[in-house]
Chain A
Amino acid sequence: MPVYIESYKFMNTCSIYPLGDSAMTLDLGNCIDDQLNSRALTIYDWLGAHPLEGITDRIVAYSSVSVFYDTTGIRNRTAVTEWLLEAWQRTDQIPKQSDGREISIPVCYEGEYAPDLEQVARHTGLAAAELVELHTSIEYRIYMIGFLPGFPYLGKLDRRLEVPRKARPVPVIAGGVGIAGMQTGVYPLNSPGGWQIIGRTPLRLFDRHAYPPILLRTGDRVRFYPVSTADFMAWKP
């Protein structure tokens, strides 16, 4: 039976634990919360501004920051733990940053661009126009980028739009705007996906020829606005 290693735990508000032998996670609590996400971003930035030799990557998620390291570049795990702990302590007094940029995303909620809109309307008992109204009425926060290059996890959705994921993933075309649970997101690439697709944006969220290749970042605030099929087709980037 293994010895479970928790490197550090403080009053249930912060724990630091290994993610295998070459990465560690600083976890602020298992929940979707703007303040925790903002703190995670602040920690991510602090770590970037105070680099430790041998660190190969940093990833911020809903309420955590993970760092990946080259074991030979770092004397031991303790150094990484202390670095993360320092980041947590030093960011305690930093005021909540005015996160990210404001970004408006055009979405066509019509016809072939919205293959699951009817199904969602049936499930929620709302009319299509009401769905669009609810989906476009909120300014969402990007809690993290994951799943696919440039895929934003946005929340929180209006409760009335809460729908389950599909039982099985189906092909989704790039630009597909999906909802699932209390979240909404946009598929940057053609990919199998399990979210209910209620629209499509003509914007390119991922472009391998561009630098950076992704449009959105964790912490950005996003608003969707409806465009017609004609506008979608005539859209010039």
Chain B
Amino acid sequence: MSFSIIKAGLLDTIQDLGRNGFGNWGIPPGGAMDVYAAQVANLLVGNNRCEAVIEIHFPGPQILFEQNTMIAITGADFSPTVNDETIPRWQPVVVRKNTVLHFPTHVQGSRCYLSVHGGYCMKKWLNSFSTSLKAGAGGLNGTPLKKGDELPFNENTIYFAGLLKKEESNFEVLPWRVNSEKVYQFPHEIGVTPGHEWPLLTEASQAAFAENNFLIHPSSDRMGYQMKGNPLSLREPLELVSTAVSFGTVQLLPDGQLIVLMADHQTTGGYPRIAHVISAHLPKLAQLRPSDTIQFKWTNMEEAEHLLVSRKKELHILQRSCLDHLNEVVC
């Protein structure tokens, strides 16, 4: 029971919802950049939302399915195909043994997620499947997936051959899907709440922060998005001792530019914390690409929390309805 990587992509890693609880040892949380897409990928195929998924960047890998199984692809659109036939995203697909998944063209977004029914079967490191490239641990041997890697997944009890209706078909699309539009709408508007050092910016910089556009620099990666814009400045020089930082913290660098910390961020930092991207907008930020521009939008804390809580409720409902659908199909 496994997937075989017949060609590696630019950066394919095993991720889950992150390695929480080890920040005091300096272990970064890591995890999927777009936790919404990662969770939905799992729920669609009947998994727990915390199972491992493959996070795929473009150009993507080529993957051979060594068994009949059920997969889902969410997140960015790299026009996935199975044996050269397009398959839908945000929808579960039963795939036939010995077919090949391929991502021929980039359409939109930055990273997509591939789940498998039952979940990938590998050892956790510090309570998480996530690959930490810095620590060389987690995921599959602590490295990105390589040609020749075999990704085992857990045994399942569903008779998938029965779901592949036509004998000649390579796959069968199952009839439930997720409309993710709302999560990614207004992609360039990124909600923020003020950071602790916000009041120390000059008035002109405070105004510029909300009014100007910022460009995502090509050097951005899973650790952080380097932003390019008119430099901002503090009212007076400030020496800060390091404190903890989080996924979404917007720091002011000494040259006046901003960095937004992403999933693989360091646990601590000493740059002024100007703002924090609201958790509900991290998925859409994770799907933006270098050279995209963003505009920061002030959001009040209550709204940020409300968005996050209702997102989690929606996922909970989705989980139940996916399991119901799955039961219907299998029975």
Residues of A near any B CB (own CB < 8 A): 1-5, 17-23, 25, 27, 30-32, 44, 56-64, 66, 68, 71-72, 76-77, 144-151, 153, 189, 191, 206, 208, 212-214, 218
Is there an interface contact between A213 and B241, defined as CB atoms closer than 8 Å? Answer: no
Is there an interface contact between A147 and B266, defined as CB atoms closer than 8 Å? Answer: yes
Contact among A3, A59, A212 with B244 in the assembled complex (CB-CB below 8 Å): A59
Is there an interface contact between A21 and B23, defined as CB atoms closer than 8 Å? Answer: no
Is there an interface contact between B25 and A212, defined as CB atoms closer than 8 Å? Answer: yes
Mark B217-235 against chain A: 1 for CB-CB distance below 8 A, else 0: 0000000000000000000
- Given A56-B21, A57-B20, A71-B308, A64-B298 contact (CB < 8 Å): no
- Given A20-B193, A57-B21, A208-B142, A145-B246 contact (CB < 8 Å): no
Is there an interface contact between B301 and A146, defined as CB atoms closer than 8 Å? Answer: no
List B266-288 residues whose CB lies under 8 Å from chain A: 266-269, 273, 276-279
Expressed in whole angstroms, the Cα–Cα distance for A64 and B22 within the complex equals 17
- Whether, in the assembled complex, B134 has its beta carbon less than 8 Å from a beta carbon of chain A, the answer is yes
Is there an interface contact between A57 and B279, defined as CB atoms closer than 8 Å? Answer: no
- Whether, in the assembled complex, B126 has its beta carbon less than 8 Å from a beta carbon of chain A, the answer is yes
Is there an interface contact between B196 and A17, defined as CB atoms closer than 8 Å? Answer: yes
Is there an interface contact between B206 and A1, defined as CB atoms closer than 8 Å? Answer: yes
Is there an interface contact between A2 and B244, defined as CB atoms closer than 8 Å? Answer: no
Is there an interface contact between B279 and A149, defined as CB atoms closer than 8 Å? Answer: no
Is there an interface contact between A148 and B301, defined as CB atoms closer than 8 Å? Answer: no
Expressed in whole angstroms, the Cα–Cα distance for A6 and B301 within the complex equals 12
Expressed in whole angstroms, the Cα–Cα distance for A149 and B132 within the complex equals 10
Expressed in whole angstroms, the Cα–Cα distance for A149 and B298 within the complex equals 33
Is there an interface contact between A189 and B134, defined as CB atoms closer than 8 Å? Answer: yes
Smallest CB-CB separation from B135: which chain A residue?
A149
Interface of B is mostly: mixed
Smallest CB-CB separation from B312: which chain A residue?
A72
Q: How large is the interface on B (under 10, 10 to 19, 20 to 34, 35 or more residues)?
A: 35 or more
Expressed in whole angstroms, the Cα–Cα distance for A31 and B243 within the complex equals 11
- Given A25-B243, A30-B240, A146-B242, A60-B136 contact (CB < 8 Å): no
- Whether, in the assembled complex, B199 has its beta carbon less than 8 Å from a beta carbon of chain A, the answer is yes
Smallest CB-CB separation from B239: which chain A residue?
A30
List B303-331 residues whose CB lies under 8 Å from chain A: 304-305, 308-309, 312-313
In the A-B complex, the 8 residue pairs with the smallest Cβ-Cβ separation, listed nearest first, are A146-B268, A20-B276, A66-B244, A208-B137, A59-B244, A21-B304, A62-B241, A59-B23
A57 proximity list for chain B (CB < 8 A): 20-24, 29
A4 proximity list for chain B (CB < 8 A): 194, 198-199
Contact among A2, A30, A150 with B194 in the assembled complex (CB-CB below 8 Å): A2
- Whether, in the assembled complex, B118 has its beta carbon less than 8 Å from a beta carbon of chain A, the answer is no
B309 proximity list for chain A (CB < 8 A): 71-72
Is there an interface contact between A150 and B25, defined as CB atoms closer than 8 Å? Answer: yes
Give 12 A-B contacts (CB < 8 Å), ordered by A residue.
Answer: A19-B244, A32-B241, A56-B21, A59-B244, A59-B267, A61-B241, A72-B313, A144-B242, A146-B266, A149-B25, A149-B132, A213-B135
